[in-house]
Amino acid sequence: MHHDYEYIIHNDGSLEKKDQRLAKELFSIEHARDARKFHRQIPGYRMTPLESLPNLASMLKIGGIYIKDEAQRLTLNSFKVMGGSYAVYRFIKKYLGAEDRDLSFSYLTSDECHERLKDVVFCSATDGNHGRGLAWASMVLGLKCHIYVHKDTSRPRIEAIRQYGASITIVDGNYDDAVRRAAEDAERNGWYVVSDTSWDGYTEIPTWIMQGYTSILLESQEQLAGLGIIRPTHVVVQAGVGALAASVVGFYTALFPENPPVFIVVEPDRAACIYESIMIGDGRPHSVKGDLETIMAGLACGDPSPIAYEVLRDNADIFIRCRDYVAARGMRILSCPLKGDPFVISGESGAVPLGILYSLLSEAEEPELKKALRLDSDSMVFMINTEGNTDPIDFRRIIWDGQDQVPKEYRTKV
């Protein structure tokens, strides 16, 4: 790598190169409002903060940095529950033949509903956050849940899932092996897979999960509007299988089709399946093999979700893969902010958008990249802190011990 990241300028902001049809179909404002209507019924639901970092923005010579802090979502420390819970809701509506009407949360948790659903068992693979969200949703609704994790999943993440009553299977392999094992066991046992990644013949539930995430974005838009900001000019979003990234890119494409933000998608360099697929350039998703080793556990995915990839391929502008220390620096910036900026607890996967923004603004020298980024004093940059401190041991190693240090040549010069 010439920098601590590599990039592909894909669409360069040109509407002529974009195909917005799928984004508009899947991520219309009506879908977002339906998801929000459901989420608002959940006991304890409240809007998560949209944090502004004006002093960092000023230091980096841009207009604003706005971070939606999903670490504070429903005491679950992650955004994932928004997708999993909405998908479970949509599944139940279809299972009960009630797709044409709303079901209240009180009905979903009633004895009558439980009696009709008693044979339903959910399962999924996870790196931690999605499994915890699905286990919580299953527990709240009184349903059984089986979660599959890979062998390198940390003990704190496993225990966080187990506390919600799910049974856990540890698979000898990586995240993608866990996905395959969950699907095989579901087929054998008659369970229902609630996965945020799609595959041939399995797109409906992943679509519902992505639509569930748009509640977060509807909240964000209300919060930005309250600050007098009509839309972000730039969106930096992290990608694993691509579900969240597609949701964010799809939502803003559908909302501002004539003038969408500049979309920057970032992945770990050792698990950059979206980046690799774009680089191959045949229009199809491609897998990355190997152990996918990265501190960004939530993004350690080798197989892109085909439906998410299609949205990103057709609408995102710049794809980036970066080193782990970029995410670690993002965590440290958020945990030790400039005076007057808020303190934000962010895990590795949550902090990489800020980490890469800092790298881009402190290192970007190529005229072509600078031109494509279009970052200046009027830029309003939006990103999501997708998780809090989900692995306390690694968190302390990074923040306290300085694990994943930035090499000397990339250290702060401003």
Cα angle 100, 103, 106 (rounded to 5 degrees) comes to 170
Backbone angles phi, psi at 78, to 5 degrees: -165, 155
Token reading at 162: 């187990």
Three-state DSSP class for residue 197: coil
Bridge-partner residues for 268, per DSSP?
322
Architecture of domain 5-78+210-410: 3-Layer(aba) Sandwich (3.40)
Residue (of 387, 327, 394) closest to 358 by Cα position: 327
Global pTM?
Answer: 0.95
Domain assignments of the chain as residue spans, ordered by start: 5-78+210-410, 80-204
How far is it, in rounded angstroms, from Cα 172 to Cα 167? 17
Considering the domain delimited by 80-204, tell me its CATH architecture: 3-Layer(aba) Sandwich (3.40)
Q: What is the pLDDT along the chain (414 residues), one digit of tens a residue?
A: 457 899 999 987 788 889 999 999 999 999 999 999 999 999 999 999 999 999 999 999 999 999 999 999 998 999 999 999 999 999 999 999 999 999 999 999 999 999 999 889 999 999 888 999 999 999 999 999 999 999 989 899 999 999 999 999 999 999 999 999 999 999 999 999 999 889 999 999 999 999 999 999 999 999 999 999 999 999 999 999 999 999 999 999 999 999 999 999 999 999 999 999 999 999 999 999 888 999 999 999 999 999 999 999 999 999 999 999 999 999 999 999 999 999 999 999 999 999 999 999 988 678 999 999 999 999 999 999 999 999 999 999 999 999 999 998 888 876
DSSP state letters, 72-116: GSTTTTBSHHHHHHHHHHHHHHHHTT-TTS---HHHHTSHHHHHH
Q: What is the pLDDT of residue 2?
A: 57
Rounded to an integer, what distance in angstroms lies between the CA atom of residue 286 and that of residue 304?
Answer: 7
Please state the separation of Cα 239 from the chain's center in Å. 6
Phi/psi of residue 20, nearest 5 degrees: -90, 0
Say how many CA atoms lie within 13 Å of 275 toward its Cβ.
24
Q: Would you name the residues annotated as active-site residues?
A: 80, 127
DSSP summary character for residue 71: G
Identical fold, 5-78+210-410 and 80-204: yes
Count the Cβ atoms, other than its own, within 10 Å of residue 119.
Answer: 9
CB 292 within 8 A of CB 193: no
131: part of which helix (H) or strand (E)?
Answer: helix 129-141
State how far the alpha carbon of 276 is from the alpha carbons of 12, 30, 51, 283, in Å.
18, 33, 32, 11
Q: What pLDDT does residue 16 have?
A: 86
Run of H or E residues at 5 = strand 5-9
